[in-house]
């Protein structure tokens, strides 16, 4: 199966996003809100009330989508939605500003967008779909006037790692797309940046 299109997650595509993530909301009830919410506001999968796990996160993503804040992009093949990438202006991701390792050196730098997460159904992994989504995110950020696209990949040293650890993408994947490593280096995380040329 091949990708037919990569589209913004607009209100009319909420059902597609909900169906793609499934009942648990991708990565253990996260619903791709981890970087968008303060730690105290994010519903962790370890909450004691199993019936509430992730529901606040899901409602937050639904609200963002229906309020017209495009939280990311959906990939489609001939059978429907098949992948997701979270990309938006960096200021939308409040947790980045509070992070000890990922907070920007200049939080007021204009035109910076951030890519924080990929989600692929298990049967679609290791087929190059992540790289296609990355290309789509670059094109979309550029079309929205972004000057820089920033990401926070995991360095797998060329090996493999569980999908729950490489949700932000891998260093090699971003290198292939032309990103340079910038900022500070932690034991596992780097900041990758791509200058976007706009017409």
pLDDT of residue 80: 92
What CA–CA distances, in Å, run from 20 to 17, 84, 165, 191? 5, 8, 20, 28
DSSP 107-154: TT-TTEEEEEEEE--GGGTTSSHHHHHHHHHHHHHHHTT-SEEEE--B
The sign one gets for the Cα dihedral 182, 185, 191, 194 is positive
**What is the chain's length?**
199
Q: Is the pLDDT of residue 47 over 60?
A: no
Q: What is the mean pLDDT of the chain?
A: 85
126/33: higher pLDDT: 33
Between CA 83 and CA 90, with CA 52 as vertex, the angle to 5 degrees is 45
On whether the pTM is more than 0.75, the answer is yes
What CA–CA distances, in Å, run from 61 to 84, 119, 188? 13, 14, 28
CATH architecture of 3-195: 3-Layer(aba) Sandwich (3.40)
| 189 neighbors 175 (Cβ within 8 angstroms) | no
pLDDT of residue 128: 79
Q: Is the pLDDT of residue 51 over 60?
A: no
Q: Is the pLDDT of residue 106 over 90?
A: no
Q: Which of 174, 140, 145, 148 is nearest to 7 (CA)?
A: 140
pLDDT of residue 152: 94
> Of 58-67, 95-104, 160-169, where does the model show the most confidence?
58-67
As given in the structure block, the two tokens for residue 79 are 């059978």
Instruction: Determine how β-strand 73-77 pairs with β-strand 191-195.
Output: unpaired
């Amino acid at each position: 199966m091949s990708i037919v299109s990569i589209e913004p997650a607009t209100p009319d595509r909420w059902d597609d996003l909900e169906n793609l993530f499934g009942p648990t909301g991708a990565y253990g009830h996260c619903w791709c809100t981890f970087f968008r919410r303060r730690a105290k506001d994010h519903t962790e999968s370890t909450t004691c009330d199993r019936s509430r796990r992730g529901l606040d996160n899901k409602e937050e993503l639904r609200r963002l989508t229906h309020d017209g804040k495009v939280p990311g992009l959906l990939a489609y093949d001939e059978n429907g939605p098949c992948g997701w990438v979270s990309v938006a202006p960096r200021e939308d991701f409040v947790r980045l500003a509070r992070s000890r390792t990922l907070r920007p050196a200049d939080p007021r730098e204009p035109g910076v967008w951030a890519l924080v997460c990929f989600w692929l159904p298990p049967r679609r992994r290791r087929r190059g779909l992540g790289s296609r989504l990355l290309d789509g995110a670059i094109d979309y950020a550029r079309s929205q006037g972004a000057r820089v696209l920033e990401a926070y990949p995991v360095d797998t040293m060329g090996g493999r790692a569980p999908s729950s650890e490489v949700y932000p993408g891998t260093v090699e994947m971003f290198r292939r797309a032309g990103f340079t490593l910038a900022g500070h280096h932690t034991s596992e995380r780097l900041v990758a940046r791509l200058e976007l040329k706009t017409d």
